[in-house]
């Protein structure tokens, strides 16, 4: 995947508006490029998998495509994630680096600062 600067989106602080949101199913399709009916499978399965408070947010192409909360969770609920967050971030970063190393050199634009350290 070749990304240009215009393809990369970093949301502003929450106090300045935060993430961009898809407002309806049509925007989920057109802006996030996802099928809202298929996303609902995730929402519907979650209570069967996890019996407790839960929250899921799906972000794609810089847009919040979906967000769900399981009772009693609410948007301002804090979850005790502690080191699990660091572990998930480490795994995601490792997968990113593995994909970078296996990508053809022509697809590595935008990551020039990693070219020497990724070898």
Residue 106 banded pLDDT, cuts 50, 70, 90: low
6 and 37 part of one domain = yes
43 and 58 part of one domain = yes
Residue 41 φ then ψ, to 5°: -60, -40
pLDDT at residue 112 is higher than 60: no
64 and 88 part of one domain = no
Q: Tokens at residue 55, please?
A: 């929250």
The domain tally of the chain equals 2
For residues 68, 76, 80, 59, the Cα torsion angle rounded to the nearest 10 degrees is 40
Q: Which range of residues forms the domain containing residue 52?
A: 1-78
70 and 107 part of one domain = no
Residue 103 banded pLDDT, cuts 50, 70, 90: low
Q: Tokens 């190393």 correspond to what residue?
A: 101
60 and 109 part of one domain = no
Output the DSSP codes for 26-79.
HHHHHTS---HHHHHHHHHHHHHH--S-EEEEEEETTEEEEEEEETT--TT---
pLDDT at residue 108 is higher than 60: no
Q: Which residues contact 27 (CB under 8 A, 6 or more apart)?
A: 63
pLDDT tens for each residue of 18-70:
999 999 999 999 999 999 999 999 889 888 888 778 889 999 999 999 999 88
25 and 70 part of one domain = yes
Residue 109 banded pLDDT, cuts 50, 70, 90: low
Least confident of 1-10, 18-27, 59-68, 90-99: 1-10
């Amino acid at each position: 995947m070749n990304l240009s600067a215009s393809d990369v989106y970093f949301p502003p602080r929450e106090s300045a508006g935060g993430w961009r949101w898809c407002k309806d199913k049509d925007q989920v399709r057109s802006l996030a490029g996802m099928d809202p009916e298929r996303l609902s499978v995730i929402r519907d399965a979650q209570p069967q998998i996890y019996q407790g408070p839960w929250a899921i947010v799906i972000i794609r192409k810089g847009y919040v495509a979906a967000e769900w909360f399981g009772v009693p969770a609410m948007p301002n609920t804090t979850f005790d994630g502690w080191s699990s967050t660091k572990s998930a971030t480490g795994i995601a970063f490792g997968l990113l680096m593995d994909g970078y190393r296996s990508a053809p050199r022509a697809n590595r634009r935008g990551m020039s600062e990693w070219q020497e350290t990724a070898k």
